[in-house]
Amino acid sequence: MLSIVIPVLNERESLAQLHAEICQTCQSHGIKFHIIFVDDGSTDGSWEEIRRLAESDDRVRGVRLRRNFGKAAALMAGLKAARGSLIMTMDADLQDDPAEIPNLLAKLEEGYDVVNGWKRRRLDPWHKVYPSKVFNWMVSRLTGLKLHDHNCGLKLFRAEVARELRIYGELHRFIPVLAHARGFRVTEIPVHHRPRQFGRSKYGVRRFVRGFLDLLTVVFLTGFGQRPSHMLGAVGLFFFLLGCAGLAYLAVYWVVKMSSGVDPHIGTRPLLAYSVAAALLGAQAISLGFLAELIVAYTGRESDAYSVAERVGRESDDN
């Protein structure tokens, strides 16, 4: 059973055609499916359209959020309603081609947990395509998961992946990275991409600044989420020791000069200011690390600490 989760923000004109294309592809390939449209605060009558589709086809479900909460939140709401063992996400704007569904399924069968789409010939304006190339390159470098199109709306994954994913804010751009960090097998296949026919894009240039900040968050969360003081503490120790070394040098210098009867004048030396600043910064970072450890120790969930692939033996019946 395949659950198709579709976040919708003001895409009324596209919905009926999208529904028809999905039904046609799935029926001709004998795929059992249901569709979950999540209306993320549309104001153009998308919800009425979703309601109409749900009334005419019992494979269609709708969830309406009270206001616009963002694509990540809409996806989470959709994943919660998904009942299938396989889950696909797809944009509502007809840019993702439902005809790719069987190809993604076939790739997953080869033994992957996540199959990410790759809009190889991307039909979007240049001011989106080029920054996005840089973004994908950076994400691949910094996270170690090499994909061409991390933020492709078209994705297929197993329900286990959905159960373990926690995306909020705009972290939907990092679903493959977050899954990879938990040990899931992630791959990609080129998919057909179409230009936007109706409505308009919901993301502007600001997305790149936000995407970059989110990249830092994700690198930190996946690398040090379970041991924050290893990062903050290491940075802190470095600066603290640097500051201490500067201060120790100044102290020795002062003693030596004083004992030979010369005024050492260390009070106006830049080294003094730098050393004090470094020692303070270092101490701050170290204590921030401890604070972060306290949060992980007392409020961290065990399920975040590891991900179970399989179980064998008797106990597996109870779990």
Q: Which residues bind ligand UDP (CB under 6 A)?
A: 7-9, 11, 40, 68, 70-71, 74, 91-93, 95, 153, 201-203
In this complex, which beta carbon is closest to ligand UDP, that of residue 92 or of residue 286?
92
Does position 89 interact with Mg ion (CB under 5 A)? The reply is no
68 binds, among ligand UDP, Mg ion, none (CB under 5 to 8 A by kind): ligand UDP
Stretch that binds Mg ion, among 12-20, 52-60, 93-101, 273-281 (CB under 5 A): 93-101
In this complex, which beta carbon is closest to ligand UDP, that of residue 125 or of residue 300?
125
CA distance 114 to 161: 8
CA distance 272 to 269: 6
Read off the DSSP letter of residue 36: E
Stretch that binds Mg ion, among 14-22, 63-71, 90-98, 260-268 (CB under 5 A): 90-98
CA distance 38 to 3: 13
Does position 93 interact with Mg ion (CB under 5 A)? The reply is yes
In this complex, which beta carbon is closest to ligand UDP, that of residue 86 or of residue 92?
92
Distances (CA, A) of 185 to 4, 103, 156: 20, 17, 12
CA distance 23 to 29: 10
Element (H, E) at 105: helix 101-109
Stretch that binds Mg ion, among 7-15, 24-32, 84-92, 101-109 (CB under 5 A): 84-92
In this complex, which beta carbon is closest to Mg ion, that of residue 93 or of residue 100?
93
Residue 95's CB: how many other CB atoms inside 10 A?
22
CA distance 290 to 166: 24
**Burial status of residue 177 (CB atoms within 10 A of its CB: 0-12, 13-18, 19 or more):** buried
Q: 229-268 mask for Mg ion (x: CB under 5 A)?
A: ----------------------------------------
Q: Cα-atom radius of gyration of the chain, to the nearest Å?
A: 26
203 binds, among Mg ion, ligand UDP, none (CB under 5 to 8 A by kind): ligand UDP
Does position 188 interact with Mg ion (CB under 5 A)? The reply is no
36 binds, among ligand UDP, Mg ion, none (CB under 5 to 8 A by kind): none
Please report, as ranges, the residues that interact with Mg ion according to CB under 5 A: 91, 93, 95
